[in-house]
Amino acid sequence: MAKVVEEIRCSNCGAPLTFKPGEIVVTCRYCGFTVVISTREAFILEHSLIINKYNELEVDRILKSWMGSGFLKPRGLAEKAKIIEKELEYLPFWIVPISASTHYKGIFERITPPIVKEGSINKSYNWLILGRKASKFPTREYQIPIEGKIPFDFRQIDRNAKVLNSELSEREVIDEARQEVEAHHKFLASQDVDRLIEFKTDYNLGKAVYVHAPIWFIVYEYKRKYYNLVLDGATGQVIKGDIPPMDFGLF
């Protein structure tokens, strides 16, 4: 598959800046300068990095121990499974500080006669958005270990790791966060009333932070089938792992 790569010069150090179609926020591999492609202007938000702490051997060890523990795994999975693919990627995340105050009114139908009920939800979040459009990464299951972040620095990134750029602009990220928070508050309100008749939310947004975080994508084979596993390279935790069905009758 041919990859189309575009090239411009970094406005900070003059090195070639390569990016793929669709990428909007691009970081220079030589000096770490981050630029918004559409305007060629410097990226003004904070750009941070969370460092990978595990090498391939340690990742293998974590996988074997994950395979060998827990109730739902087939017996002998750790011995029989074969790791087929193991790739470290630094994914571009956005953290959007957002306070949302919702006021809602609805009909509570769980009693007779039904009554009209009102309520409010006031919450603050650091809402996480992945800056990639098509990705199998389970964002909602990931607790980004933000305490360990440092200013972005290419020298701290493993040689073999892939670093992905954001395909979403700051504006798109903020819209997305707002929509997701609204959907979340609708869900919360629907726990309280059966039919919403009024729903209004006011938002207060803080400055977004752009963070690259290390994620291992692993594929393993077990009994001629492939399974995916996603591991947090900063904490060594399995974020999501496919488990083969149990081998009933083989004990």
| Contact residues: Zn ion, CB under 5 A | 10, 12-13, 15, 28, 30-31, 33
Structure-token match 């084979």, residue found: 221
Q: Which is nearer to Zn ion, 33 or 104 (CB)?
A: 33
Between CA 40 and CA 38 the distance in angstroms is 6
Per-position b or e across 96-128, b if 16+ CB within 10 A of its CB? bebebebebebeeeeeeeeeeeeeebeeeeebb
Closer of 28 and 208 to Zn ion (Cβ): 28
48 or 102: CB nearest Zn ion: 48
- Closest distance of CB 162 from Zn ion, Å: 19
- CB of 15: closest distance to Zn ion in angstroms? 5
Query: In whole angstroms, what is the distance from residue 79 CA to residue 72 CA?
Result: 16
- Of the candidates 9, 5, 4, 15, which has an alpha carbon nearest to the alpha carbon of residue 154? 15
Number of helices (H), then strands (E), in the chain: 3, 14
Residue 152 C-beta: closest distance to Zn ion, Å: 12
Residue 8 pairs in a beta bridge with 17
Q: Closer to Zn ion by CB, 6 or 247: give it.
A: 6
> To the nearest whole angstrom, how small is the minimum distance from the Cβ of residue 12 to Zn ion?
5
In the bound complex, what is the minimum distance in angstroms from residue 139's beta carbon to Zn ion? 29
Tokens of 32: 């770490």
Q: Which amino acid would we find at residue 98?
A: I
| CB nearer to Zn ion: pick between 31 and 51 | 31
